[in-house]
Amino acid sequence: MMDAHAAKVLDFNRLLEFLAQGAKTPQGSQACLQVAVASAPEEATERLVELTGFSHLVAEAGFAPVDGMREIEPHLESASTEGACLDVEALLEVRDTVTATVRVVEYLEDAQRLGSPIGEYARGHEPLYELEECFARTFGVRGEILDTASSELARLRAEIKSLRSKVLNALQRVLRNTEMEHVVRDDFITQRSNRYVIPMTTDFRGTLGGVVLDHSRSGQTVFVEPMEVVEINNRVGCAHEEEAVEIRRILMALTARLGAHSTKIRGQMAVVAVLDLFGAKLRLSRKIGGIQPEICDEALMELHEVRHPLLALREGIDVVPIALTLGEAERLLLITGANAGGKTVALKTAGLVTMMAHAGLFIPAKEGARVGW
């Protein structure tokens, strides 16, 4: 169990904030802030060895492609409710997350082929290709719902396109009719109440049969729907309503599919968080010049050229390394010197570096460092 007082005095939580800055996902950032010391020396050693394994994998295959993860737990919770329908924005966040998990599982499968121990995290997980493809059929790159989302949606949109073309052609004939020149206000087609109309003078009646749908502010122009396009406009409106119904059906079906896969998605999100935590640890280690220390059961400390981790993170300062050895020939270390001579920094360096090692973090020291439990 981590000593909360020691963590506060040694600024361990502040170090975790720096660690979290290296995370690329909300889940990884949260995992960084929750890092605590291990419960036993074997666990601490396992964490350190695993981080070394990850560093070797990064050298060969790069960092895990975790970008794109979103906070989707509320969406997965909603999707598990029968009859639920997530909105487009929520579904796009899930899409981005699923895409990220697919890439990460592929990365882990590559790690397995490379013989990396990190590849073990692929165990029990398969890329959710079917779900990813479903999202690809449903949404475009800008989040628009594609015709490929369903055959019925494609049919309705094709019908709307055909009907719109008929309406526009009919209205263009009116605009081109020389007998209408004296009542046509402007040579363009516009829309009122989602119906195609043309602007005409108020005395158009007798020249053209039609329905007035709107007036200009001055009252000199009326927007007329010619009778020959009323039925077509009616069908366009009905087709749009059918399109909206079909889109909702598509979103409900996709939501239900997410609900069925929610357990798998959560499991893969947890793996992504672990890999993002590894990445954050490695980035922090590179910033401070970290190495893997040896964890010993004995009460000892062998640190050479060790620097205070938070000072090592500060840019533009020259950190003076120190040596701290205790535990074999010596049982007591007496630190003396003038005020502002570095006594407190030395003590905090010993404490914070020990806590980092116990938590499975690399420490800013010379190779061969040993930290007792």
Nearest by Cα to 290 from 299, 300, 280, 277: 280
**pLDDT higher than threshold 80 for residue 238:** yes
- Mean pLDDT to the nearest integer, 325-333: 83
How does residue 84 score in pLDDT terms, banded at 50, 70 and 90? very high
Residue 363: what pLDDT? 98
CB 183 within 8 A of CB 207: yes
How does residue 1 score in pLDDT terms, banded at 50, 70 and 90? low
Whole-structure pTM over 0.85, yes or no? yes
How does residue 174 score in pLDDT terms, banded at 50, 70 and 90? confident
Residue 214: what pLDDT? 86
- Mean pLDDT to the nearest integer, 140-153: 96
DSSP letter string over 282-322? HHHHHHHT-BPPEEESSS-EEEEEE--HHHHHSTT--PPPE
Q: pLDDT per residue over 267-326, tens digit each?
A: 999 999 999 999 999 999 999 999 999 999 888 999 999 999 999 999 878 888 999 999
Q: pLDDT per residue over 334-352, tens digit each?
A: 888 888 778 999 999 999 9
Residue 213: what pLDDT? 85
- Mean pLDDT to the nearest integer, 134-150: 96
How does residue 69 score in pLDDT terms, banded at 50, 70 and 90? very high
Residue 186: what pLDDT? 75
Residue 2: what pLDDT? 73
Name the β-bridge partners of 192.
Answer: 195
Residue 163: what pLDDT? 93
CA-based R_g, the chain, Å: 33
How does residue 78 score in pLDDT terms, banded at 50, 70 and 90? very high
How does residue 59 score in pLDDT terms, banded at 50, 70 and 90? very high
Nearest by Cα to 21 from 29, 30, 10: 29
- Mean pLDDT to the nearest integer, 111-118: 96
Distance between CA atoms of 116 and 109, rounded to whole angstroms? 10
More confident residue, 215 or 71: 71
- Mean pLDDT to the nearest integer, 165-185: 82
Average pLDDT over all residues of the chain: 92
Distance between CA atoms of 323 and 344, rounded to whole angstroms? 14
Residue 29: what pLDDT? 97
| Beta strand residue intervals within 143-239, DSSP E | 190-192, 195-201, 210-215, 221-226
Nearest by Cα to 350 from 317, 328, 372: 372
89: left (phi over 0), alpha (psi -120 to 50) or beta: alpha
- Mean pLDDT to the nearest integer, 225-240: 90
Residue 187: what pLDDT? 78
